[in-house]
Structure 1
Amino acid sequence: MAIKQRKIALMGFRSVGKSSLTLQFVEGKFIDSYDPTIENTFVKNVKIKGQEYGLRLVDTAGQDEYSIFPQAYAIDIHGYCLVYSINSQKSFEVVKVIHEKLLDMTGKVHVPIVLVGNKLDLEVERCVSYEEGKQLADLMKADFVEVSAKNNPKVTDFFHKLIISIERGHESTVNANDRQSKCTIA
């Protein structure tokens, strides 16, 4: 079976842990220092439900509510991890704006998304409740998870959830195209 190539963008406010989540998933390590990202791409092969995937993870620069949504993030991206920090209300508000801009740029009503509440290890500093995150994910029709890039094995899980969501959407599109192609005009 051929390897399916999938491209995923991680987006969110600055210092929410997008790079840390990516490094935890790709290399299994956590780096405690903060170094603002311009943009990095990481590659990892995974096997999900018997299918091999070649993942390209685009670790984006932090956005804010005034950032112009980069067109490159609307083209050729199969799914999105929208990341906020559970100890930052601002990052939670920014993720809502990013979602709106994402839908505007892609011109779609729905895109495969996992909403990620990061920094679960900072529970004592929590500003955004689990319920608020879950409610926003439901509104976005997205999967939802809270994790800690620092010490949480769930990091792998949400990437896998996103791939499954991407494939569900891909299968729906293929099936719709098959139905359309069977139409004839007499």
Structure 2
Amino acid sequence: MPLPKSRKIAVLGYRSVGKSSLTIQFVEGQFVDSYDPTIENTFTKSMTVNGQEYNLQLVDTAGQDEYSIFPESYTIDVNGYVLIYSVTSYKSFEVVRVIHEKLLDMVGNVQKPIILVGNKKDLHMERVISYEEGKALSESWNAAFLESSAKENQTAVEVFRRMILEVEKMEGGQPQEWSPCSMM
């Protein structure tokens, strides 16, 4: 088995969209019901994807708004970004667009894998952002898209598994087609 690869993933979004809940559900397998605003937490977890072990460092960031300064630390050695909004909040959907713009401003034209996640899909009656709206936004960014429910543990593992696949694809970690080369 090859040596484990280390990957750093930043989890960004508006306050109370479920960044910590989704991260803790993935790392510890439990749902945290109480809301305690996060300053910033870092979690570690190992997982195996396609026979390769990964040591993940997950940076669970403080909730951002459209006026927040985008910390430069969120771009240093980060391999990919999980941008989360709540399907029950237009404000969080607007803010995730602003965060994406700030992220692009910080990293320049460097392509970084991004997954857009519409969280709280278990709150059917309160939904204001459709699956189609989230999917359309992710496509405009050329990013992956998933909806999740941290509470019901729907897709928490899949979000981070998909992130690893996106990072590997972007870094050329996928097996490349062999092409003959001749020298003259």
TM-score > 0.5, shorter chain as reference: yes
In structure 1, the partner of 2:180 is: none
Secondary structure of the structure 2 residue equivalent to 1:76 = coil
Residue 121 of structure 1 and its aligned partner are, at CA, apart by: 1.0
Aligned CA RMSD, in angstroms, stands at 1.1
Normalised by the length of structure 2, the TM-score is 0.92
Q: What are the Cα deviations for residues 63-99 of structure 1, in whole angstroms up to 9, with x where unaligned?
A: 0000110000011100000000000000000000000
CA–CA separation in structure 2 for the residues paired with 1:51 and 1:64: 36
Larger helix share, 1 or 2: 1
User: Which structure 2 segments of 5+ residues have no match?
Assistant: 177-184
Q: What are the Cα deviations for residues 45-72 of structure 1, in whole angstroms up to 9, with x where unaligned?
A: 0000000000000000000000110000
CA–CA separation in structure 2 for the residues paired with 1:152 and 1:40: 20
Residue 154 of structure 1 and its aligned partner are, at CA, apart by: 1.1
- Mapped contact 1:110–1:141 kept (Cα < 8 A): no
User: Which structure 1 segments of 5+ residues have no match?
Assistant: 176-186
CA–CA separation in structure 2 for the residues paired with 1:108 and 1:9: 18
In structure 2, the partner of 1:82 is: 83
2:65 equivalent to 1:41: no
Equivalent pairs counted in the alignment come to 173
- Which runs of 4 or more aligned residues in structure 1 lie more than 6 Å from their structure 2 counterparts after TM superposition? none
In structure 1, the partner of 2:132 is: 131
CA–CA separation in structure 1 for the residues paired with 2:164 and 2:12: 16
In structure 2, the partner of 1:140 is: 141
Q: What are the Cα deviations for residues 17-58 of structure 1, in whole angstroms up to 9, with x where unaligned?
A: 000000000000001100000000000000000000000000
Secondary structure of the structure 1 residue equivalent to 2:58 = strand
Residue 108 of structure 1 and its aligned partner are, at CA, apart by: 2.2
Q: Which amino acid aligns with 2:126?
A: E
CA–CA separation in structure 1 for the residues paired with 2:62 and 2:69: 12
CA–CA separation in structure 2 for the residues paired with 1:19 and 1:164: 22
In structure 2, the partner of 1:63 is: 64
Residue 11 of structure 1 and its aligned partner are, at CA, apart by: 0.2
Q: What are the Cα deviations for residues 112-137 of structure 1, in whole angstroms up to 9, with x where unaligned?
A: 01100000111110111111000000
